[in-house]
Amino acid sequence: MKDFAYVRAGDVTTALRAIAAEPGAAFIGGGTNLVDLMRQDIERPGTVIDITTLPLDEIEETADGGVRVGALVRNSHLAAHPLIRTRYPVLSQAILTGASAQLRNMATVGGNLLQRTRCLYFYDGAAACNKRRPGSGCDALEGFNRNHAILGASDACVATHPSDMCVALAALDATVEVESVRGTRRIPLVDFHRLPGDTPDVETAIAADELVTAVELPASPIAVNSRYRKVRDRASYAFALVSVAAALEVRDGTVAGVRLALGGVAAKPWRAREAERILLDAPATEESFRRAAAAELASATGLSQNAFKIELARRAIVATLSRLLTDGSAA
């Protein structure tokens, strides 16, 4: 790992001024992704600004019945929090299926949002990767692409966003609060990550000098009946081939409300708006679920090794909604 200067920020203002003064600097929270990337020489910050002692580690109920989660809350603490377990079970489940207990104890909410793809070619300095070195090409297109995107990809990049937490946040209409010396702004989670297009190196909607300070969950009665289903190559401690975050409200046999998002399929958590549109006011039956899943995946494209994920995603959607219909949530 290349040497760097280390600065510990005592308060948010100091952290924001430090990064504004040095564009090549990086914030470090839990370090579970950044330290790894620095060791691989993929991230080479001249200065690392430690933000772990900033007062951004609270989970609070908001006046309108939602929940505000500080950016430095550890993943494990968020998953175990009573408010999340009872009101947003899909979020607890999603976090608990991600990484390992040790990593969840370290990783922060803000860092989870900003983690980078696990594409092997992104990690391999000798490989072509438009995300790591714009214009160099993409070795995943004809390489090992089992874990890669089937939705929203481009010829420039087929990488996926590896987060489970973000898939649940996408389904829950979460908002990300970011702050810089220029002020504070809010970005809907579904707009926080970008599809690759011609610039896969630009991954999120935040600027280099902005700090994620919180994630806000709106009050969501439908979220009480929610679940997360993750399909992967081993039973635990593996990234998703496909995952589904779903919330369902049924009244008199009809879908009165639905939230659906997919993970492991795109460069961002994929909010399944088309499926939601078809399901709303439709009979709450497996037949409806199948129709909605097929419509959502209609535009999906497989690569040499991952075309199976299209059918897998359809089945995972149907299975998750069916489970919610028969058993309810895991709360």
Binding site for another protein (CB under 8 A): 1-6, 28, 31-32, 35-36, 38-39, 48, 50, 52, 76, 79-80, 82, 85-86, 89, 92-93, 96-97, 99-103, 105-106, 235-237, 330-331
Quick count: other Cβ atoms within 10 Å of Cβ 25?
21
Nearer to another protein, 107 or 303 (CB): 107
Taking the complex as a whole, the smallest distance from the CB of residue 183 to another protein amounts, in Å, to: 28
Taking the complex as a whole, the smallest distance from the CB of residue 201 to another protein amounts, in Å, to: 23
Nearer to another protein, 5 or 207 (CB): 5
In this structure, the strands spanning 26-28 and 5-8 are unpaired
Nearer to another protein, 2 or 182 (CB): 2
> Kind and range of the H or E element at 104?
helix 101-106
DSSP for 119-169, written as a single string: -HHHH-TTS-BTTTSTTS-BTTTTS--TTS-SSS--SS-------SHHHHH
Nearer to another protein, 92 or 160 (CB): 92
Nearer to another protein, 167 or 293 (CB): 167
Taking the complex as a whole, the smallest distance from the CB of residue 80 to another protein amounts, in Å, to: 4
CA–CA separation, 180 and 98 (whole Å): 29
Taking the complex as a whole, the smallest distance from the CB of residue 280 to another protein amounts, in Å, to: 27
DSSP for 220-266, written as a single string: -GGGGSEEEEEE-SSSSSS--SEEEEEEEEEETTEEEEEEEEEESSS
Taking the complex as a whole, the smallest distance from the CB of residue 235 to another protein amounts, in Å, to: 8
Nearer to another protein, 28 or 157 (CB): 28
Taking the complex as a whole, the smallest distance from the CB of residue 36 to another protein amounts, in Å, to: 5
Q: What are phi and psi of 55, to 5 degrees?
A: -80, 60
